[in-house]
Structures are given as C-alpha cells and as structure tokens.
Amino acid sequence: MSRPSAAFFDLDKTIIARSSTLAFSRPFQAGGLITRRAMLRSAYAQFVYAVGGADHDQMEKMRQFMSQLCAGWDVATVREIVADTLHNVVDPLVYAEAVSLIDEHKREGRDVVIVSTSGSEVVEPIGAMLGADRVVATRLKIVDGKYSGEIEYYAYAEEKANAIRRLAEEMGYDLDESFAYSDSVTDVHMLEAVGHPYAVNPDKQLRRTAVERGWPVLVFNRPVALRSRASLPQGPTLAALAVGGAFAVGGYVWANARKRPHSG
C-alpha cells in the first residue's frame, strides 16, 4: 500500500500577493492596537517587502520595530480583528493559480499544508479559509493573555524543513512523492525536503538556484476573491503553469526574521 503524500505551501507571495501580516495593518490600527504612525511604518515595510529590495540592516531595523510593537497586544483582540476582517483583507490578495493548485492537490488525495514564518494568529485563519489540512507558523509567547514580544516557535529557513520532516514522520507522508512551493531563497531547505520542489514568483537568488537545479518555476499573477472560489473556472494544471517546457522552470511577521530577505 502506497504512503500518503502532501503539498507544502509557503504563504506570502506564494499563495497571497503580499505579506499576510502587513495586510492587517489598517484593521489593527482601526482596532486601536497600533498608531497611525506605526501603520505608516508598516506600510513602508510592505513597500520594501513588495519590491524585494530590503538589505539585512533595513530588515533588522524593521524586525526590531515590529517586535517591540506587538509586545503587550491582547491576544483575544488580535484574533477577533483577524476573524472580523479576514475576507475583506485577504480575499483580493489570493492568487487564483494557487487556489487552483491547492484544489488539484486535494483532488489527487494529498494533504495541503501551509508552512509560513508569519504568526499563527494570521496564518491559521487563512489556512482554514483556503481549506488547508494543516498549518505550520511562527508562535509568539503569550503571558496572561498578552504577547510578551518573545518568540515561542520560529518557523523560518531550516526550521521549515525540520517541521516538514516531523509532520512526515507523524502522518506517514512520503516526502519523495510530496510537493513544496515557495518564492524565497530562505526556503531552499524546505524545497529540498521533498521530491517535487517548485519556485513560485521567485526572488533572484531562488530563481538562480532553480535554474541550477532544474526546479520548475511557476508564475502566479491573478489575485482573486475566495468568495467566488466556487465559480472559478478550472485553473491551469501544474504542468501548464510550469515555465520553460522541458526545463520548466511561502511582514511584517510577528517578531520577524533575523536574516530574512522576505519569506512567508
């Protein structure tokens, strides 16, 4: 009897078109969690993230700012804001190609797992909205119902691959028959962990790695509202999405990465 397989997806710039956590800047400001000045700072961070031009020093400064920002936030308030605004914030950002690909994997009997450096308070509701079977995400330490500003579990770089291997052991996944998708070179370890790695809208370094290793490269560029998911036309198949014929070429995050160019 064959073992089950899975499809592992990074979130930011792979399933959705921008940083999942940064997308909630305005609702968090409206809910009284952050000031207008902080919202503008996060908007700047989103711009830097979108163009992919942040160097390590810029990202470290933004990480420190955002890490300090979330300390003391009420956990229940954050979850309520995310739940109340999820569709309005995320719906227009989800790639139609990713939705079709998720559906394709589910039809073929694979579990769909989102593996993201973004915080679990944001990633888990998005995963539920997308119909993911499981979610791996960064978790912040909670003390007396508030975020302490410390990281309890950090789903970044090699840890994503470690998490995938632990899940494979727990669920019996055959990783040689499993798939992984990401946009960032920081997720190379995650892509290496499976038999079918795909670079999605890759940054320059990941694109170079994909070319060197013969990994397929997919281009997603059609955001769609999930409310219309049931009426979506059948998306292109995995083979049709691959670029290059025979060569065929996953915000601020809650207390973001130490050396993270951009990955979600």
Q: Which residues are catalytic?
A: 10, 12
Angle between helices 36-51 and 56-70 (to 10 degrees): 150
DSSP state letter for 249? -
How many CA atoms within 13 Å lie on the side-chain side of 123?
A: 29
Q: Which of 137, 97, 131, 125 is nearest to 111 (CA)?
A: 131
The DSSP letter of residue 2 is P
Contact 155, 116 (CB under 8 A): yes
Residue keyed to tokens 């160019």 = 261
Integer Cα distance of 162 and 213 in angstroms: 21
Q: What is the 3-state secondary structure (H, E, C) of 143-171?
A: ECCEEEEEEEECCCCHHHHHHHHHHHHHH
CB 257 within 8 Å of CB 54? no
User: Residue type for 137, please?
Assistant: A
